[in-house]
Amino acid sequence: MLKTKNAVFTIGIALLIFLITIPVISYTAFKSAIKEKTFNHLITTREHLVDQIESYFHERLGDVNVLATNPTTIQALSFFTQAFNNSGIKSSEYTEVAEIYQPLMNHYVSNYGYTNIFLVNINGDVIFSAKEDEYTGINLLTNENSLLKIAHIFKKGMVDTSFDDYTWHHDENDFVAYCASPLYDNKVLLGVLLTELPFSHLDAILSRRQGLGETGEMYLVGKDGFMRSNSRFSEKPTVLSKKVDTEATRDAFSGNTGTKIIDDYRGVPVLSAYTLLDSKSVDWALLVEIDKKEAFEAIHTVEIRLLIIALIIGGITIAYLYLKSKNPESIKESKS
């Protein structure tokens, strides 16, 4: 009888281990598959965004370069410079020149979605703006104005077609960025053409979160550690105000592209796919993330079900072993 009890006990334990092990193995494979699928989706989204963002800035630099080499633009700069130097920006001479070229510049502003277009002569005078604002008529090389972002991009534009990072513009009540290109006439540098880009262009690209659920987001971080986009978790703008220093951003700025489960800038565990934008225009890190809790929600449901199944199987097996040990012949008798 003791041998029978031991045999039954051994078989019962083996059955219990088998019945529990199979779901656990299946769960492990399921968890790994969910994790891989989520990261693959984040990677696909990240690569698509890289193409979109880099194409956007490449096209904007191409636009400003084409506009700067347009003979009409070069002619406009010459006439505006002459009128500005002769009698100033409020004169009738200047107004006559503006009546000729203003419609063309308005067309470019409207067509390309710029905030503004500026013509700056070689002396640093902002001699024309498609829309009059705080920079119209000022000199960008004076001590008072030389620290302005527009002055910085003007200096870069004197050398080559360039882009300068986003900054706050009081008149626009929004963030803007600048592209600049030198204006030449027969290889003689006359000045610089500046285009002012609204942040809304970039924001529109980063706000398309289809397939990223309730917590997925895509955002940019500059080398200074501040966001170049708005967080979906903040009601206030986070551009150039929200500091981000995570394992993912540090790895990205080291030149690496990868995926990790990290704590994000909110301190929340997320699945993160990150890279450094490979562009001469910007040196930003791009991150695509989703909360770990949401990404693994299906896994959590399976965990609960597996626990219930394990408890049921365990309870039945223990009950069976208990009854069998009390009366090993009971099953035979019931069968007979």
CB 118 within 8 A of CB 194: yes
Residue 62 lies in a domain: no
Report the C-alpha gap between 68 and 71 in whole angstroms: 8
Domain for residue 120, yes or no? yes
* 43 inside domain: no
The answer to the question of residue 247 being in a domain is no
pTM of the model: 0.79
Alpha helix segments (H runs only) across the chain: 2-68, 71-87, 92-112, 149-157, 199-206, 247-253, 292-295, 297-326, 330-335
In this structure, are residues 260 and 248 in contact, taking their beta carbons and an 8 Å threshold? Answer: yes
Strands laid side by side in the 285-291 sheet: 217-221, 285-291, 269-276, 258-263
> What pLDDT shows up at residue 211?
81
In a domain, 322, yes or no: no
Q: What confidence score (pLDDT) does residue 299 get?
A: 58
Q: How many CB atoms lie within 10 A of CB 136?
A: 16
Sheet holding 162-169, edge to edge: 126-129, 116-121, 188-198, 174-185, 162-169
- What are the tens digits of pLDDT across the range 111-165? 999 999 999 999 999 999 999 989 999 999 999 999 999 999 999 999 999 999 9
Domain membership of residue 293 (yes or no) is no
pLDDT number for residue 19? 54
Q: Does residue 287 lie in a domain region?
A: no
Task: Provide the CATH number for the domain around residue 116.
Answer: 3.30.450.20
Residue 105's domain comprises 69-201
- Rounded CA-CA distance 100/80 in Å is 11
pLDDT at 281: 78
Is 103 a member of any domain? yes
- What pLDDT, in 10s, does the model give residues 292-336? 999 887 555 655 655 666 666 666 667 766 666 666 555 444 444
Q: What is the pLDDT of residues 201-253, one digit of tens each?
A: 999 999 888 788 899 999 999 999 999 999 999 999 999 999 999 999 999 99
Average pLDDT over residues 26-45: 79
Taking Cα atoms as reference points, which of 67, 62, 166 lies closest to residue 107? 67
pLDDT value at position 99?
95
Number of structural domains the chain divides into: 1
pLDDT higher than threshold 60 for residue 79: yes
